[in-house]
Amino acid sequence: MMFRRVAIFGVGLIGGSFALALKRAGMVQEVVGAGRKRETLDQALALGIIDRIALKPEEALAGCDLAMIAAPVAQTENILSSISPHLEASTVLTDAGSTKSDVIAAARAVLGEKIVQFVPGHPIAGRELHGPQAALAELYQNKRVILTPLPENSAASISAVTQAWQACGAQVDTLSAVQHDAVLAAVSHLPHVLAYALVAQIARAEDAQLKFGLASSGFRDFTRIAASSPEMWRDIALANRDALLNELSTYQKMLEHLHGLIERGDAAGLEKLFTLASEKRLSLNLPK
Amino acid sequence: MMFRRVAIFGVGLIGGSFALALKRAGMVQEVVGAGRKRETLDQALALGIIDRIALKPEEALAGCDLAMIAAPVAQTENILSSISPHLEASTVLTDAGSTKSDVIAAARAVLGEKIVQFVPGHPIAGRELHGPQAALAELYQNKRVILTPLPENSAASISAVTQAWQACGAQVDTLSAVQHDAVLAAVSHLPHVLAYALVAQIARAEDAQLKFGLASSGFRDFTRIAASSPEMWRDIALANRDALLNELSTYQKMLEHLHGLIERGDAAGLEKLFTLASEKRLSLNLPK
């Protein structure tokens, strides 16, 4: 399999790494880049991530087999609107957004009958850095990519997106959008909110400087994700609101329970809960 | 300055590293090890951490200039009781416990007038590993050690403990016990409770396997401390109950606030809080 032309809407870390990986695998003849900022597109061109800049969506989409939307989730609907009139029948459209139900709802509203061409996806990979300079051909190597195909998608469209990601070195699985959003709320979106909350709490304390000065490597690792982009995580929190609130409410109940155990001095109850967590954590085979 | 004889009660990671560092600095002639488990003492002897095993406290304390209690906080009171009758007037006693107010209360109850000899301390250092095999002469290099001296302590006693830690490569500061416990509750004890809570919540979910399978490096780092010893953290949570509950209550209010922001779709409010946290986190100079 070989793509004649791939269009990337958003040539930063995620879209740029996708383009580089497809190129390295010899899976694409030409990559066309589109995006809001001319400077970013120029960088991507200079770095060999894209072969050509498209200033209008119709230029990006003409004769293209695969189009990837790799922009912050809050921009997805606007990009879909600009793409929709120019999407040729032979183009498979996919995305890399961190949330899926909201993207699908936007796509259904905007794409009309062309929804059959849209195969939603989410690569579980990232770095703290962003922009074309951060893109790496090996970013998706041995990472998971979740597709949440629609009932309308053809097997051929799903297969094209699957093969593209496999060529990037990823393991591709499918889930329903609802399942995807619930899972990511628990293992990604909630931890980000919790890390932001802890750093904000200490930053607001009178003795913030003393506290941060005595923080150890445990605190450093726990709060690493609190350095993530506030805009991006604001958008994800709102895009996945229902699933996130569901996990957050469960977590709030868990803290109430823990508060009670500590208040009552319930050593056995605390040890039971801590042991469940530590045995599970030690048994996990998490990404390097 | 040079110690003729140092006694270590608890020759695991913390006490063992203290002994190795003092030896490397040429600060001690003889290190005597005491503890509950003969096997651990034999290991420490074989590893050159201690020069001699003391099976009774009086053997450990005879002619000793400095005695260090480096056992889990829940054992401190028992160890103090066994030490008290044999503590010679010329011995300075210190500890390495993660909480200070409770240790001081126990020491006051047990030591009587000998409280003047006890200079409480806490090295902010550790590893996931424990036991004598995990001990490292360089564990305290460039780390912080907090002393919480008592009004009764002589300047000479405080100086002896300070010099011992400085010889280990640490930076020594003093705080009140209350301040110490409040600071550590915020930057260490609370994050441990939060990490345990998140892993326990996901472990209890029906789709736990799916969730853990899609966890990324952000989750890995956030939950690293959830692999810590359940017994040790149960004891710390209870030993520092008041300060921990205070921080936990503040955190619960923070989560209520965040829950409201997400529920109401308050993008500006979320961004403000996330930005405060991410800017602060990026500005911190945390331990390597």
Q: Same domain, yes or no, for B33 and B153?
A: yes
Is B201 close to A228, i.e. CB distance below 8 A?
no
DSSP state of A73: G
What's the CATH number where B235 sits?
A: 1.10.3660.10
> To the nearest whole angstrom, how far is the Cα of B222 from the nearest Cα of chain A?
4
Is B215 close to A280, i.e. CB distance below 8 A?
no
Size of interface A-B (CB pairs under 8 A): 289
Residue A171's identity, in one-letter code, is Q
Is B251 close to A254, i.e. CB distance below 8 A?
no
Is B186 close to A200, i.e. CB distance below 8 A?
no
pTM: 0.91
Q: Which residues contact B210 (CB under 8 A, 6 or more apart)?
A: A175, A179, A183
Is B280 close to A199, i.e. CB distance below 8 A?
yes
Q: Same domain, yes or no, for B138 and B153?
A: yes
Question: How is residue B67 written in tokens?
Answer: 């005695």
Q: In this complex, which of B186, B256, B276 lies closest to A205 when CB atoms are compared?
A: B186
A90 class by beta-carbon count within 10 Å (0-12 exposed, 13-18 middle, 19+ buried): exposed
CA–CA gap between residue A137 and residue A170 (Å, rounded): 12
Of A144, A175, A206, the residue that ends a domain is A175
Average confidence score pLDDT of chain A = 96
Q: Same domain, yes or no, for A218 and A204?
A: yes
Looking at the domain assignment, is residue A111 inside a domain? yes
pLDDT at A163: 98
List Cα–Cα distances, A112 to A83, A92, B72, B184, in angstroms.
Answer: 12, 15, 64, 56
Is B258 close to A271, i.e. CB distance below 8 A?
no
Q: Same domain, yes or no, for A105 and A237?
A: no
Residue A235 Cα to chain centre, angstroms: 12
CA–CA gap between residue B276 and residue B269 (Å, rounded): 11
Q: Same domain, yes or no, for A145 and A186?
A: no
Q: Same domain, yes or no, for B34 and B143?
A: yes
Q: Which residue of B204, B228, B278, B285 to mutate against A (max A Cβ within 10 Å)?
A: B278
User: CB atoms < 10 A from the CB of A154, how many?
Assistant: 13
List Cα–Cα distances, B91 to B32, B54, B188, in angstroms.
Answer: 14, 16, 31
Is A263 close to B245, i.e. CB distance below 8 A?
yes
Looking at the domain assignment, is residue B155 inside a domain? yes
Is A278 close to B191, i.e. CB distance below 8 A?
no
Q: In this complex, which of A192, A211, A248 lies closest to B186 when CB atoms are compared?
A: A211
pLDDT at A130: 84
Q: Same domain, yes or no, for B75 and B160?
A: yes
Q: Same domain, yes or no, for B237 and B95?
A: no
pLDDT by residue (tens digit) across A205-234? 999 999 999 999 999 999 999 999 999 999
CA–CA gap between residue A95 and residue A18 (Å, rounded): 11
Q: In this complex, which of A191, A196, A287 lies closest to B277 when CB atoms are compared?
A: A196
Domain total of chain A: 2
pLDDT at A56: 95
What's the CATH number where B100 sits?
A: 3.40.50.720
Q: Same domain, yes or no, for A129 and A238?
A: no
Domain that holds residue A189: 179-283
Of B153, B175, B197, the residue that ends a domain is B175
Q: pLDDT tens per residue, chain B (288 residues)?
A: 799 999 999 999 999 999 999 999 999 999 999 999 999 999 999 999 999 999 999 999 999 999 999 998 889 999 999 999 999 999 999 999 999 999 999 999 999 999 999 999 999 987 767 899 999 999 999 999 999 999 999 999 999 999 999 999 999 999 999 999 999 999 999 999 999 999 999 999 999 999 999 999 999 999 999 999 999 999 999 999 999 999 999 999 999 999 999 999 999 999 999 999 999 999 998 877
Question: How is residue A61 written in tokens?
Answer: 């989409």
pLDDT by residue (tens digit) across B166-215? 999 999 999 999 999 999 999 999 999 999 999 999 999 999 999 999 99
DSSP state of A170: P
Q: Same domain, yes or no, for B60 and B166?
A: yes
Residue A193 Cα to chain centre, angstroms: 16
Looking at the domain assignment, is residue B288 inside a domain? no
Looking at the domain assignment, is residue B38 inside a domain? yes
C-beta of residue A213 within 8 angstroms of C-beta of residue A243? no
Looking at the domain assignment, is residue A17 inside a domain? yes
pLDDT by residue (tens digit) across A166-205? 999 999 999 999 999 999 999 999 999 999 999 999 999 9
Question: How is residue A237 written in tokens?
Answer: 């929190």
Q: A92: part of which helix (H) or strand (E)?
A: strand A92-95
Shortest CA distance from B183: residue in chain A? A211
pLDDT-derived band at A1, boundaries 50, 70, 90: confident
Is B230 close to A195, i.e. CB distance below 8 A?
no
Q: Strand A3-9 relative to strand B121-124: parallel, antiparallel, unpaired?
A: unpaired
User: CB atoms < 10 A from the CB of A38, how many?
Assistant: 10
Is B221 close to A222, i.e. CB distance below 8 A?
yes
Looking at the domain assignment, is residue B63 inside a domain? yes
What is the per-residue DSSP string for A223-268?
A: TGGGGS-HHHHHHHHHHTHHHHHHHHHHHHHHHHHHHHHHHHT-HH
C-beta of residue A5 within 8 angstroms of C-beta of residue A68? no
Q: Considering only CB atoms, which chain B residues are within 8 Å of A248?
A: 255, 258-259, 262
ipTM: 0.91
Looking at the domain assignment, is residue A288 inside a domain? no
CA–CA gap between residue A33 and residue A41 (Å, rounded): 7
Shortest CA distance from A283: residue in chain B? B227
C-beta of residue A209 within 8 angstroms of C-beta of residue B280? no
Q: Considering only CB atoms, which chain A residues are within 8 Å of B191?
A: 198, 218-219, 222-223
> To the nearest whole angstrom, how far is the Cα of B112 from the nearest Cα of chain A?
27
Interhelix angle A241-264/B241-263, rounded to 10 degrees, is: 160
User: CB atoms < 10 A from the CB of B172, how many?
Assistant: 18
pLDDT at B1: 75
Of A116, A151, A175, the residue that ends a domain is A175
Q: Considering only CB atoms, which chain B residues are within 8 Å of A265?
A: 238, 241
pLDDT-derived band at A18, boundaries 50, 70, 90: very high
Q: Whose CA is closest to B219, among A189, A170, A260?
A: A189
Looking at the domain assignment, is residue B251 inside a domain? yes
Q: Considering only CB atoms, which chain A residues are within 8 Å of B236?
A: none
Q: In this complex, which of A190, A259, A277 lies closest to B245 when CB atoms are compared?
A: A259
Residue B175 Cα to chain centre, angstroms: 15
Q: Same domain, yes or no, for A141 and A248?
A: no
Q: Which residue of A147, A184, A188, A202 to mutate against B (max B Cβ within 10 Å)?
A: A202
Is B278 close to A227, i.e. CB distance below 8 A?
yes
Q: Strand A144-147 relative to strand B3-9: parallel, antiparallel, unpaired?
A: unpaired
CA–CA gap between residue A121 and residue A253 (Å, rounded): 32
Q: Whose CA is closest to A223, among B235, B283, B74?
A: B283
Q: Same domain, yes or no, for A278 and A204?
A: yes
pLDDT by residue (tens digit) across A21-32? 999 999 999 999
